[in-house]
Amino acid sequence: MSSEACGPGPARGALMSEGRSIRSRRPGAAAVLVILAALLFGGCAFGVTQPATDVGATTATVTGLVADTEDGASTYWFEYGPTKSYGSETTHRAITISDRDGHPVSEELTGLDPETKYHYRLCAKSEHPVCGIDYAFTTGAGPAELEITAAPDLYPDFDPQVPDYVTRCNNGPVDVTVEAPVDTAVAVDGGPARNGTFTTTVPLASGQEFELATDTDVGTSTYHVRCLPNDFPDWTFTEYGPAQQKWYLVTPRQYAVMFDGNGVPVWWRHDPIKPGDFKLLPDGTLAVSANDRYYIRDLDGNLLNTLRTVGTELDSHDLQLLPNGNYMLMSYKPRANPIDMTAYGGPPDGIALDAELQEVEPDGDLVWSWNSKDHVGLEETDHWWGDYAIPQAEDNEYDIVHINSMDATADSVVISLRHTDGIYEIDRDTGEVLWKLGGTPTPESLTVLGDPHASNPLGGQHYARVNADGTLTAFDNGQGQGRPPRAVRYEIDEDAPVDSPPRQRVRARWITDLRPRVPRHVLLPRRCGPGREAHPRRAASRDERPAPALGTGRSYPATPKRRPARPKRGAEADPSAAAGVRQPPPGGGSAATTSPASPRIRAVVR
């Protein structure tokens, strides 16, 4: 902008010269300049440029003095740019002067280029603009890499490859500090995209989220930050390498929580009744057990269905969604009549609890069932009768088999019976046991080859699964076997000659005890050993099924609180649910392979 003096032409040069002579003096020294200007011409506001302060890579604060030769209202602004032609100016601000002193003013300049020289000057106007002399500063070098921090902290620390984060905001604001290179612009919570160093305060409440958006030469990225509920449990996460599974599901305290492969909780729900089993089903719904039933919800937290076994109390060790849309459930069903258990150290009139499988339709109708009563003998409970005083007696009921997992196909079901140390395959048409792995010998027992513990391969095992490649994996607790827990993998050979002895027609060839390898869906429990029952959590039910599609959106909160349509900051958060699951990366499909995965992720909730 051109400057015009308030009086005759020669006065302008005198004013500029005098401004140069007092630029480093105290603000009150401007009175000398004011008196001189008053002698030369009438009332006039003018600016005196002073040195810049707080010069960074992309920001600086320019300063100066504004004075007037008479009382009244004036305006002032700074002109700045990479040359003395400037090209940019700050907001014009009003000031009222009622004395002859110079009044300090300043403006923060943002969005500057690193390592660049900038010129600037202060201008003021009552009738006509009068500008101070030119000053200059040089910005510093910008950050070499993008860094984003927050107070309270982000979890995990910001990494451009990690899309989701949480913070414990305690229903208060979060200060986000960005250090961005010159070729990277960052927008916080929908604000303007900027580079350099800056801090933005984001008002936040439990269950709400905000976004970080980056724009670089190679494209744009969006990151999501959620505020955890105040009572959300603590957890630790250790990464040994790339995660082999997309989601890890746990049920600490009153929460059902889904973690991603970076150890970040991306979906959670709080319920008054402590949840038990929790799994992501192949159709993208979630199953949570509590109060003798399974609740089926969508990713927004809406209740879609409630499932219970028919005629017997549901057991929540496992549930499976079948390809035909039905569900496979399990139960511990008391026998109708007492039996004599004295041969095994029990009473003469004990009530046996048998394992029962039920296939039910979504409306609850029973379409198929199987019960262990006529297929698994009391002698198969073996050392559990005495070693651990198991079955535990309650109302004279004895848990003789303790089913804890199932894996169904159209033709058969593989089940794990903890109190027999055995894994069984059941023919769904006949109900007969096709083979048995571990436990006491029976005509259906497999010959175990290669396992250093072949005589007693299992002890109180859990989570038996048949993988897409036909191998069988399980978590062997080692209970009662005098050895630590292990995860095992066997190859089932069903092509042995039919004229072989019965126990050699089908063989179980031990491949490895999977140390340091574990089955794909097992999340290692924090403690697991002899005398302690472990219930590993998992994210899906069958290896050969693709990862469930989680929809088209980026977020599935039970109470939507995300951009676009930013929630009202003062709104009450839904106490029963919080922010939701992230959609899988483009391309879909399962992140896991058909072979067992390494135990590279451990999420421990305490």
How would you write 1-46 as a 3-class SS string? CCCCCCCCHHHHHHHHHHHHHHCCCCHHHHHHHHHHHHHHCCCCEE
Residue 317 pLDDT: 95
Strands 507-512, 447-449: pairing kind: parallel
> Is residue 580 pLDDT above 70, yes or no?
no
Residue 100 confidence (pLDDT): 86
How far is it between the farthest Cα atoms of the chain?
125
Distance CA 326, CA 10 (A): 95
CA distance 69 to 50: 20
Which pLDDT score, from 0 to 100, does residue 393 have? 53
113's tokens: 């280029």
Q: pLDDT band at residue 590, thresholds of 50, 70 and 90?
A: very low
The amino acid that residue 604 corresponds to is V
pLDDT over 90 (residue 389): no
| H/E run at residue 465 | strand 462-466
pLDDT attached to residue 528: 28
Predicted confidence at residue 33, as pLDDT, reads: 53
pLDDT tens digits, 418-477: 999 999 999 999 999 999 999 999 999 999 999 999 999 999 999 999 999 999 999 999
Structure tokens at 432: 């007969």
One-character DSSP codes across 319-379: EEE-TTS-EEEEEEEEPSS-B--GGGTS-TTBEEEEEEEEEE-TT--EEEEEEGGGTS-GG
| Best CA proximity match to 441, nearest among 460, 455, 431 | 455
Q: State how far the Cα of 22 lies from the Cα of 34, in Å rounded to an integer.
A: 11
Q: According to DSSP H, which parts of 377-417 are helical?
A: 384-387
Relative to beta strand 366-371, strand 351-360 is antiparallel
**Integer angstrom CA distances of residue 465 from 472, 516, 603:** 6, 18, 22
Residue 67 has pLDDT above 60, yes or no: yes
Structural domain 9-138, CATH architecture: Sandwich (2.60)
Q: What is the DSSP letter of 505?
A: H
No. of helices (H) and no. of strands (E), the chain? 4, 40
> What pLDDT, in 10s, does the model give residues 327-343?
999 999 999 999 999 99
Is the pLDDT score of 16 beyond 70?
no
Q: Could you give the CA distance from residue 335 to residue 354 in angstroms, rounded to a whole number?
A: 7
Residue 438 DSSP symbol: S
Q: How confident is the model at residue 7 (pLDDT cuts 50, 70, 90)?
A: very low
How many Cα atoms sit within 13 Å of 119 on the Cβ side?
10
Going by the DSSP 8-state scheme, the letter that residue 272 receives in this structure is S
> Could you tell me which of 257, 229, 217, 195 has the C-alpha nearest to residue 56?
195
Strand duo 397-399 + 351-360: pairing: parallel
Per-residue pLDDT at 1 exceeds 60: no
Amino acid identity, position 261 = G
For residues 416 and 426, give the distance between their C-alpha atoms in angstroms, rounded to a whole number. Answer: 11
User: Is it true that the peptide bond before 152 is cis, omega within 30 degrees of 0?
Assistant: yes
Instruction: Provide the 8-state DSSP code for 380.
Output: G
**Between residues 527 and 407, which one has the greater pLDDT?**
407
DSSP-assigned letter for residue 418: G
What mean pLDDT is predicted for residues 152-161? 97
Round the average pLDDT of the chain to a whole number and report it: 80
Assigned token pair, 372: 């262990």
One-letter identity of residue 243: A
Domain residue ranges in the chain:
9-138, 143-230+550-583, 235-512
Res. 123: pLDDT tops 50: yes
Least confident among 158-162, 239-243, 248-252, 392-396: 392-396
Provide the β-strand partners of residue 476: 486
Q: What is the model's pLDDT at position 579?
A: 35
| Most confidently modeled range among 110-114, 364-368, 584-588 | 364-368
The two three-digit tokens of residue 141, written as one number = 């070098």
Residue 595: the pLDDT is: 28
Token digits for 174?
């979060």
**Kind of pairing, strands 196-202 and 45-53?**
unpaired
Residues 311, 285, 417, 536: is their CA dihedral positive or negative? negative
- Tell me the pLDDT tens digit for each residue of 497-535: 544 544 444 566 666 554 433 333 333 322 222 222 222
Q: CB–CB of 284/551 below 8 Å? A: yes
What single letter denotes the amino acid at residue 448?
A: V
**Per-residue model confidence as pLDDT tens digits over 549-562:** 443 333 333 333 33
The answer to whether residue 69 scores a pLDDT higher than 90 is no
Report helix, strand or coil for 504: helix
What is the helix, strand, coil percentage profile of the chain, to 5?
10, 40, 50
Q: CB of 397 within 8 A of CB of 351?
A: yes
The count of other CB atoms within 10 Å of the CB of residue 16 is 17
Q: Is the pTM of this model over 0.85?
A: no
| pLDDT of res. 120 | 99
CA distance 501 to 273: 52
Nearest partner of 330 among 315, 311, 312, 313, judged by Cα: 315
Is the predicted pLDDT of residue 24 greater than 80, yes or no?
no
Counting residues of the chain whose pLDDT is more than 90, the rounded percentage is 63
* The predicted structure's pLDDT at residue 349: 92
Q: Does domain 235-512 have CATH number 1.10.8?
A: no
pLDDT digits (tens, 9 = 90+) for 96-115: 999 989 999 999 998 888 88
Closest CA to 166 of 263, 92, 247, 88: 263
The reported pLDDT for the residue numbered 147 is 96
Q: What is the mean pLDDT of residues 276-284?
A: 96
**CB neighbours of residue 446 within 10 Å:** 23
User: How many CA atoms lie within 13 Å of 212's alpha carbon, on the beta-carbon side?
Assistant: 33
Q: What's the pLDDT at 381?
A: 94
pLDDT of residue 508: 67
For strand 471-476 and strand 286-290, is the pairing parallel, antiparallel, or unpaired?
unpaired
45-53 vs 60-68, strand pairing mode: antiparallel
Q: Which of 360, 342, 340 minimizes the C-alpha distance to 352?
A: 340
Strands (E), 128-246: 129-131, 135-138, 147-151, 164-167, 174-180, 185-188, 196-202, 209-216, 219-227, 235-239
pLDDT of 3 above 70: no
